[in-house]
């Protein structure tokens, strides 16, 4: 049983309390936490935007490269959050602790190995993307520094996964808030004060993660929640590792292949010049903020579904999904309509004074904002699949969103409609809408329940 007041109260609310309250109590801290994490890149973008467009183009070009590794590693921590939440719902504290240990070991090993490989192969990858001159040199400098923060970032993500599995999304939010405050102080100091240029932005992001990772480590090893990491006498459990692979690998492959698709998209955008590359980066970052409610509600649905699946309450799991989907769609439709009609240009103007970049970025943002409600359907439906442990479906849909629908619609808009750089803007919303429809139709078939029997048996 769970003795921590916060974890126990959240679990009881998830399993038997008011569903709307449960969704909001989980989703709001997740949304704020996601916003805080996005602020790392937004802060870099803001201060680098005061220098030259080439700096913006460089960071926009290489960010997806960093995200490929981060998203793959987060497949491991997401598997941990899903599996631990199911153990929490089944009141199986012993196996929840063992799973937490396995997630910790797998994530830290992965982060160190991938960080080293990325550091070595960065020049080849940035060159393959088509970067030349200053964009090439600046991109290498930035990515080689920020990639060093992977072990610290993954430590923070491990803490977030263990906390979220128990229904605690508040403390991870507070921890990340500390990190962004440090980053917001260091960014102008390093970039403008010390004149370190793009390296200053990278060092600020890297250094901000270190104290947060140390606090996270202390929390998961000595904190007050029942589920803690204790590696004394640790040995790999084949069944646990198999569950992590079966649940986490599809998520990791889906997310990382999506980010790899983003790399190829940046290659397509760069052909229109540095201004287009900067506009694409600004638009994507702002759109990331707009769609945070959908991401947060998707994460909340995943946790609630996971715990209720573990408790054998499938009707309650479905109820959380339906309410989360409705809340997400209504909010995003309203916000997107306001932003696309009235605020796209002023918001873009915060990050750049280059008129050519403003024109393209505001056009891109207007189109994405108007159609962003489809993300509400996509993310919450992904949440119910993930919470039930059926991540193979989400992997396939996520991968095809980029590798099939986005590149297909890009080809159509560019070849048959001769839309130029706008073909990129429209292929983004078209592929998002198609994928949202596909995963919703798959949900209607009942496919999300396919792994539930096997996971319940694994808990017994």
If DSSP states are collapsed to H, E and C, what string results for 89-112?
HCCCHHHHHHHHHHHHHHHHHHHH
Task: Say how far apart CA 439 and CA 111 lie, in whole Å.
Answer: 30
- Look at residues 205, 203, 228 and name the one whose alpha carbon lies nearest to residue 216: 228
Q: Which two tokens stand for residue 293?
A: 């409610």
Asked if 322 contacts 357 with a C-beta cutoff of 8 angstroms, the reply is: no
pLDDT at residue number 456: 47
Q: Which two tokens stand for residue 148?
A: 């060093």
Asked if 255 contacts 333 with a C-beta cutoff of 8 angstroms, the reply is: no
pLDDT at residue number 454: 52
pLDDT at residue number 329: 96
Task: Say how far apart CA 455 and CA 389 lie, in whole Å.
Answer: 8
Long-range contacts of the stretch 94-98 (C-beta < 8 A, 24+): 95/240, 95/459, 96/165, 96/226, 96/227, 97/227, 97/228, 97/230, 98/237, 98/240
Q: What is the DSSP letter of 341?
A: I
End-to-end alpha-carbon separation of the chain, Å?
16
Rounded to 10 deg, the angle between the 53-89 and 5-16 helix axes is: 80
- Look at residues 246, 252, 40 and name the one whose alpha carbon lies nearest to residue 152: 40
Q: What is the DSSP letter of 421?
A: T
Burial code of 175-207, b = ≥16 C-beta within 10 A, e = fewer?
Answer: bbbebbebbbebbbebbeeeebbbbbbbbbbbb
φ and ψ at residue 196, rounded to 5 degrees: -85, 0
Asked if 115 contacts 148 with a C-beta cutoff of 8 angstroms, the reply is: yes
For 137, other C-beta atoms within 10 Å of its C-beta total 16
Q: What is the DSSP letter of 148?
A: G
pLDDT at residue number 67: 75
Cα 374 to chain centroid distance, Å, stands at: 17
φ and ψ at residue 452, rounded to 5 degrees: -60, -45
pLDDT at residue number 3: 40
Rounded to 10 deg, the angle between the 197-222 and 19-48 helix axes is: 150
3-state secondary structure of 232: coil
Q: Is 381 left (phi over 0), alpha (psi -120 to 50) or beta?
A: alpha
pLDDT at residue number 324: 96
R_g of the chain, CA atoms, integer Å: 21
Helix (H) or strand (E) holding 181: helix 170-188
pLDDT digit of tens for each residue in the chain (460 aa)? Answer: 334 445 667 778 888 889 999 999 888 888 887 777 777 766 776 787 677 778 877 877 777 777 777 777 777 787 888 888 888 888 888 888 999 999 999 889 988 998 899 899 999 988 887 788 888 999 899 989 988 989 998 999 899 888 888 878 788 888 988 998 998 899 999 988 888 988 998 999 899 999 999 999 999 998 677 788 988 888 888 888 888 888 877 877 777 776 677 777 877 888 888 889 888 888 888 888 888 889 899 989 998 999 998 888 999 999 999 999 999 999 999 999 998 888 889 999 888 888 889 999 999 999 999 999 999 999 999 999 999 988 889 889 988 998 899 999 999 999 999 898 899 999 999 999 999 999 999 999 999 988 765 554 444 4
3-state secondary structure of 343: helix
φ and ψ at residue 234, rounded to 5 degrees: -65, 140
pLDDT at residue number 459: 47
Task: Say how far apart CA 190 and CA 200 lie, in whole Å.
Answer: 5
Instruction: Give the angle 89-233-81 at the CA atoms, nearest 5°.
Output: 25
Torsion from C-alpha of 399, 400, 401, 403, nearest 10 degrees: 90
Task: Say how far apart CA 16 and CA 319 lie, in whole Å.
Answer: 12
Q: Is 237 left (phi over 0), alpha (psi -120 to 50) or beta?
A: beta
Task: Say how far apart CA 172 and CA 176 lie, in whole Å.
Answer: 6
- How far CA 374 is from CA of 319, 325, 326, 369, in Å, comes to 20, 10, 11, 10
Please state whether the predicted TM-score (pTM) of the whole model is above 0.85: no
């Amino acid at each position: 049983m769970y003795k921590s007041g916060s974890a126990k109260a959240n679990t009881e609310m998830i399993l038997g309390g008011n569903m709307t309250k449960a969704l909001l109590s989980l989703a709001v801290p997740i949304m704020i936490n996601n916003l805080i994490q996005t602020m790392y890149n937004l802060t870099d973008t803001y201060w680098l935007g005061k220098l030259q467009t080439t700096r913006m183009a460089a960071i926009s070009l290489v960010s997806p490269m960093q995200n490929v590794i981060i998203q793959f590693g987060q497949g491991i921590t997401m598997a941990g959050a899903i599996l631990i939440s199911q153990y929490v719902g089944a009141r199986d504290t012993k196996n929840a602790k063992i799973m937490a240990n396995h997630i910790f070991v797998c994530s830290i090993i992965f982060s160190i190995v991938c960080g080293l490989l990325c550091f070595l192969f960065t020049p080849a990858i940035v060159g393959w993307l088509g970067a030349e001159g200053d964009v090439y040199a600046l991109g290498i400098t930035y990515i080689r520094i920020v990639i060093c923060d992977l072990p610290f970032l993954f430590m923070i993500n491990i803490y977030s996964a263990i906390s979220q599995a128990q229904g605690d999304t508040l403390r991870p939010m507070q921890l990340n808030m500390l990190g962004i405050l440090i980053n917001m102080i260091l960014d102008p100091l390093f970039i403008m004060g010390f004149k370190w240029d793009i390296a200053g932005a990278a060092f600020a992001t890297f250094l901000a993660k270190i104290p947060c990772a140390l606090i996270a480590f202390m929390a998961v090893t000595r904190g007050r929640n029942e589920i803690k990491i204790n590696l004394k006498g640790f040995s790999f459990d084949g069944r646990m590792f198999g569950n992590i692979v079966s649940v986490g690998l599809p998520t990791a492959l889906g997310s990382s292949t999506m980010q790899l698709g983003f790399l190829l998209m940046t290659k397509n955008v760069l052909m229109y010049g540095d201004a287009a590359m900067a506009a694409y980066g600004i638009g994507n970052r702002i759109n990331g903020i707009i769609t945070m409610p959908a991401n947060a509600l998707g994460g909340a649905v995943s946790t609630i579904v996971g715990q209720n699946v573990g408790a054998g309450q499938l009707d309650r799991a479905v109820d959380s999904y339906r309410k989360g989907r409705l809340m997400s769609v209504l909010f995003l439709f309203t916000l997107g309509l306001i932003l696309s009609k009235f605020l796209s240009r002023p918001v873009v103007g915060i990050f750049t004074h280059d008129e050519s970049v403003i024109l393209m970025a505001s056009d891109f943002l207007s189109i994405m904002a108007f159609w962003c409600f489809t993300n509400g359907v996509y993310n919450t439906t992904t949440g119910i699949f993930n919470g039930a442990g059926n991540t193979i479906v989400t992997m396939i849909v996520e991968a095809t969103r980029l590798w099939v629908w986005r590149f297909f619609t890009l080809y159509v808009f560019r070849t048959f409609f001769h839309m130029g750089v706008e073909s990129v803007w429209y292929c983004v919303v078209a592929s998002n809408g198609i994928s949202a429809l596909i995963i919703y139709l798959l949900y209607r078939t009942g496919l999300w329940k396919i792994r539930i029997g096997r996971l319940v048996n694994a808990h017994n």
